[in-house]
Amino acid sequence: FDSTPSKFLARMNEAETQAAILLGIDDPHIHDLAADFSKPCVMINCHDRRMRLPTVAPDHKNIGAFASHFLFEMGHRRVMNIMCLRRYTMELRLAGIKEAWERQNQNFKDDRDLLTINSFSAKEAEEKVGAWLDMTEKSMLPTAFLASGDFIAAGIINALKKRNIRVPQDVSVMSIDGFNLAAIEDVPLTAVHVPRDELGTEAVHMLQQRLVRPDATVGALLLYGKLVIRESVRRIRPGKEPTPIKGDGLYD
């Protein structure tokens, strides 16, 4: 549905409309309208703060924690997180990232370990990361970047490439998304895939259940992500120096 109250009401009042799925709509007024209708409604990747509407969403917090934990397992301790915090879902991912750091007894500092941007565009990420690289001493560079989206990862890799910093030989890059760009500049991208098609499948099943049992308990179904290991992340030694390799594109 269009995310305006008037259009939502018009569609819901049509005789042929039996149910509704709200996709990524954060407007609490529309949530109120949907909850007051006698027709069942399910939400995808959004949240009813009054807990009246069932929802299915990626488990953003655990996905963020899982991505960070993987980098820790690969030996990385200096990780720069590049994130767009435009939606609360990204705030949840950041909360998961910080939780993973805490579990590793690592002190997460926003001014050191987080670089925020205003969009998910590769251009803005490249400009922001490039400026940060230019004012950072080489000895202080992270061993890995964690991007909150594939296009952000593309911008990071472009910024690194223009400064003759190789991925993954010199610095690793990982993304949380994994659907938009499987490979960036011939670098196969390691990523945690956020569930996408599965959200629609589960939302339809949930809606069918609501039609059969309209008075059933309402809750949230959170779907896990999937780690896809390619070649943009390298294992490093405890001394935080990259493991020597014999050729480009080899994953340890």
Q: Domain for residue 182, yes or no?
A: yes
pLDDT of residue 8: 86
Same domain, 102 and 170: yes
Q: What percent of the chain has pLDDT over 70?
A: 90
> Which SS3 state, helix, strand or coil, does residue 114 take?
strand
Written as one letter, the residue type at 70 is F
User: 49 with 120, same domain?
Assistant: no
Q: Where are the beta strands (DSSP E) in the chain?
A: 20-23, 41-44, 55-58, 79-84, 114-117, 144-147, 172-177, 183-184, 187-188, 190-193, 220-223, 226-228
Domain range for 148: 60-194
* Burial zone of 14 (CB within 10 Å; 0-12 exposed, 13-18 middle, 19+ buried): exposed
Q: Is the pTM of this model over 0.85?
A: yes
Please check whether residue 237 lies inside any domain of the structure: no
> Are residues 150 and 88 part of one domain?
yes
Quick check: is 238 in a domain? no
Q: How many domains does the chain divide into? A: 2
How do residues 71-130 score in pLDDT, each as one tens digit? 999 999 999 999 999 899 999 999 999 999 999 999 999 999 999 999 999 999 999 999
Write out pLDDT tens, residues 135-194: 999 889 999 999 999 999 999 999 999 999 999 999 999 999 867 666 566 789 999 999
Task: Identify whether residues 162 and 207 lie together within a single domain.
Answer: no
Looking up tokens 């939502």 gives 8
Residues 130 and 86 in one domain: yes
Which pLDDT does position 205 carry in this prediction?
A: 95
Asked if residues 38 and 210 have their Cβ atoms less than 8 Å apart, the reply is no
Same domain as 74, residue 31: no
pLDDT band at residue 11 under the 50/70/90 scheme: confident
Q: Are residues 177 and 203 in the same domain?
A: no
Examine the pLDDT at 35 and tell me if it is beyond 70: yes
Residues 38 and 77 in one domain: no
Residues 159, 220, single domain; the answer is no
Q: Tell me: do 69 and 164 sit in the same domain.
A: yes
DSSP state of 15: T
